[in-house]
Amino acid sequence: MPAFFEIAFWSAANPELWVAVGMILFLGVVFLAGGFKTAMGGLDAKSAKIQADLDEAAQIRAEAEAMLAGIRLQRDEAEVQAKAMIAAAGEEAARLSAEAKVKLEESVARRGALAERKIEAAQQEAASQVKAAAVDMAARAAETILAARLAGSKSDAQTDKAIGELATKLQ
């Protein structure tokens, strides 16, 4: 240090000297009163509180990440279940469609067979009606022809009676 600095600093008129002396005295009083310990204790308490808050935040973050992972896992499982349900529903729909098709074909076949039986029965009924009408007509014609032949010849009561019953017997 230069001599000028030493002389100028230690003179009584130097305000920096008195500020330095006051500061040293103040720091000494604060030290003796335990101010540094109180300040350090406050800083340590504040540091501990901040560290506890950071630890709690880290714990909350870890819990949140675990919950998020659980939710993602549940979502993935739900998606798999939904896909499986959709596939099962598709298979069920295809099975029901095939069953309905088979039942429809069976129903159409039964109705077709029933219609054919009804047509056959109607044909048989018509044929029997035509035969009955032909028999009835033939009987009337025979009765008319026989009546005309007999009318010209002598009349026999038994023959007339047989001719009258002929129509009922031919039916």
The ranges assigned to domains in the chain are 15-170
- How many whole angstroms separate alpha carbon 80 and alpha carbon 38? 62
Q: What is the pTM of this model?
A: 0.40
Element (H, E) at 3: helix 3-9
**Looking at the predicted structure, is the pLDDT value of residue 18 above 50?**
yes
Lowest pLDDT segment from 6-15, 21-30, 160-169:
6-15
168 contact partners, CB below 8 Å, separation of at least 6: none
Q: Quote the percentage of the chain above a pLDDT of 70.
A: 84
pLDDT interval class at 15 (50, 70, 90): confident
Whole-number pLDDT of residue 1: 46
| Angle between helical axes of 15-33 and 35-152 (0-180°, round to 10) | 70
Which tens digits make up the pLDDT trace of 144-162? 877 777 666 655 677 667 7
Q: Evaluate whether 148 touches 125 at the Cβ level (below 8 Å).
A: no
**Looking at the predicted structure, is the pLDDT value of residue 50 above 90?**
yes
Q: Evaluate whether 14 touches 8 at the Cβ level (below 8 Å).
A: yes
Q: Evaluate whether 148 touches 124 at the Cβ level (below 8 Å).
A: no
Cα 151–136–141 angle (5° rounding)?
30
- How many whole angstroms separate alpha carbon 68 and alpha carbon 63? 8
Which tens digits make up the pLDDT trace of 77-131? 999 999 999 999 999 999 999 999 999 999 998 998 888 899 988 888 888 888 8
